[in-house]
Amino acid sequence: MVRETSDFEKLSEFLKPYAEKLNTKVWICKKVGKRMSCIARAGSENYSEAFISWEDENYVLFTERELVNAVDRELVDELMVSFRKLIDKT
């Protein structure tokens, strides 16, 4: 019997290239009321401080390092635009 890939696994696979390019662990949480639920993550965990690198009314992107340079910020914007398109398809 073949196990179907979960949405968490699919979304995490989507994040892998971005985690590699940003050289940090990244994870996306969906806002659920006052709480957040992790819906995807990728990259090596260093157990360091988490930074909010992108946020809107529904989602938050966390990283394990602060992304301050323009190249990283552009990559995060690209990631979240692609992510929103992917989420809209599911």
Place 3 in a pLDDT band, splitting at 50, 70 and 90. Answer: low
d(CA 41, CA 39): 7
Place of tokens 């019997």: 1
What are 7-34's pLDDT values in tens digits? 899 999 999 999 999 999 999 999 999 9
Burial class (CB in 10 A: 0-12, 13-18, 19+), 75: middle
What are 29-76's pLDDT values in tens digits? 999 999 999 999 999 888 889 999 999 999 999 999 999 999 999 999
90 pLDDT more than 70: no
The structural domains of the chain, with segments of one domain joined by +, span 23-89
d(CA 10, CA 32): 21
Q: What was the pLDDT predicted at 45?
A: 85
